[in-house]
Amino acid sequence: MDKTFRDILHAALALDHDSKVVLVERLAVNLSMDKESERERAKIRQDIIAGAKKMNDLYLEETKAWYPLEEEVRLKYEAENGAPDLE
């Protein structure tokens, strides 16, 4: 058992009954808050994933809409100037 935890446990056991009740109530509230934080993090993660899927769909839609124009411009440029040297 960790020394710090053991020291805290011994100190808690030395408390009077009312103080122990308060301590247990505070621990319960902290555990409840931790669970709520965990649920909130999971919800945020799910929202981010859903948002990323929507963004991907929008990106693909925009790409499909603009690709023909980009291809037309590229072909016209290459016809007038030759293919670009990529090396």
Q: What is the pLDDT of residues 35-84, one digit of tens each?
A: 888 888 899 999 999 999 999 999 999 989 999 999 999 999 999 998 88
User: Could you tell me the CA-to-CA distances from 46 to 36, 39, 43, 50 in Å, in that order?
Assistant: 15, 11, 5, 6
pLDDT at residue number 79 = 92
Global pTM value:
0.45
Q: What is the mean pLDDT of residues 17-43?
A: 85
Phi-psi bin for 19: left (phi > 0), alpha (psi -120 to 50), beta? alpha
Q: Is 57 helix (H, G, I), strand (E, B) or coil?
A: helix
Amino acid making up residue 10: H
